[in-house]
Amino acid sequence: MASPLVVLTDFYAVTNRALSYAAGLAIPLKAELVLLHARHDVLLAPMDNSPYSPISDHTTDQALQTLADEQPVPTQVNVSERELPEAVRDAVRHHRPLMLVLGRPGGTDTPLAIMTGTAMDLLIGVPHPLLVVPPPGAEAFPPRRLLLAVDGEPFVLRQHQDVVRQLLHVAAGTLAMVRVADDSHARLGAETILQTVAANDLTEKLHPSQLYEVYNRSIVDGVLAEAQRQETDLLVVVARHHSLMGSLFHRSVTAQLIERSSIPVLILPAED
C-alpha cells in the first residue's frame, strides 16, 4: 500500500474542497486517506461577521466519520487536540504521508490570505510535500501534464522526492520544466538547469526539449503564463526554506503562486 494522503479539514468538513481532489488522486495511487482535524485551531475556521465558535465535538466527529465512510478509498479520521502545526507534525511522524493536502477553508468568502498563510506556516514549520487545491475547476484525475517550476540553482529535496515520479507513473504523465529569467536573473541554459533537476531523481529521463526557459519581468506571471500555454494539470514548485522565511507578509513567489494559480499547486520543500 502506498503512503497515505493527509487531508487538512476545517470543521465544516462536509464542504472541504481538498478532500474530493485528494480522493481522485488516491484511487490510481492505491493510497489511503487520513482526514486530519485540529479541534481547537482557528486557522482553518470560516471567516464571517460572527466570532469563531466551533460546533460541538460530537457533531464534528460524526460529520468527519460520515465523510470518511463516503470516500472511494479507505479513510481514517485523525482528530487532534493540538493546534494545527503540532497536529500536522504528529500526523507526518505517525502516518508518513506521501503529501499533505490543503484546500480553501470554509465558504467561498474566506480570504485567500487564510489559506496562503496556513500553507506557508506549514511549509516553514513542517517541511513536507504540500498540495494546495484551488476552487473547483475542470481537473484531470490523475493529473497528466505536470509543470515543474525551478530557479535553476542546485537544490536538495528534504524527503519524498519520489512524489513526482509516482504521479507520473500512475497517469503515464509528462513532465515539463520552466525557469523564468527576469531583469535580475539572467538565462542559465538548459544543461545547467537540467542538472539541478536530475540530481534529485524526480523522473527517469530528462531532455532539453522538456525545459522552457522564458523571460518575464515577473517570475510569477512567467510561470503561470507557461502553465496556461501548456494546459498544465498540476504545477509543481520547488520552495527553499530561506525564500519562505525571507519575505514580509508571506509575499514570496511560492505564496503568490498559491494565491493566483487556477490549478492545483504541489510544493516540494528543499534544503537551502
Greater model confidence, 189 or 268: 268
| 5-133 shares its CATH topology with 145-271 | yes
Q: Predicted confidence band at 135 (pLDDT cuts at 50, 70, 90)?
A: confident
Measured CA to CA, the distance from residue 179 to residue 194 in angstroms comes to 10
Measured CA to CA, the distance from residue 257 to residue 81 in angstroms comes to 31
Q: Predicted confidence band at 208 (pLDDT cuts at 50, 70, 90)?
A: confident
pTM value is 0.88
For residue 94, the model assigns a pLDDT of: 94
Give the residue extent of every domain in the chain.
5-133, 145-271
Nearest to 60 by CA among 26, 32, 34, 35: 35
Measured CA to CA, the distance from residue 125 to residue 122 in angstroms comes to 5
Fold for domain 145-271? Rossmann fold (3.40.50)
Query: pLDDT for 57-90, tens place per residue?
Result: 777 788 888 889 999 999 999 998 888 889 999 9
Nearest to 39 by CA among 105, 4, 87: 87
Q: Predicted confidence band at 100 (pLDDT cuts at 50, 70, 90)?
A: very high
For residue 6, the model assigns a pLDDT of: 96
For residue 201, the model assigns a pLDDT of: 81
Measured CA to CA, the distance from residue 74 to residue 112 in angstroms comes to 30
Peptide bond into 28 cis (omega under 30): no
Query: pLDDT for 171-185, tens place per residue?
Result: 889 999 999 998 888
The CATH class, in words, for 5-133 is alpha beta
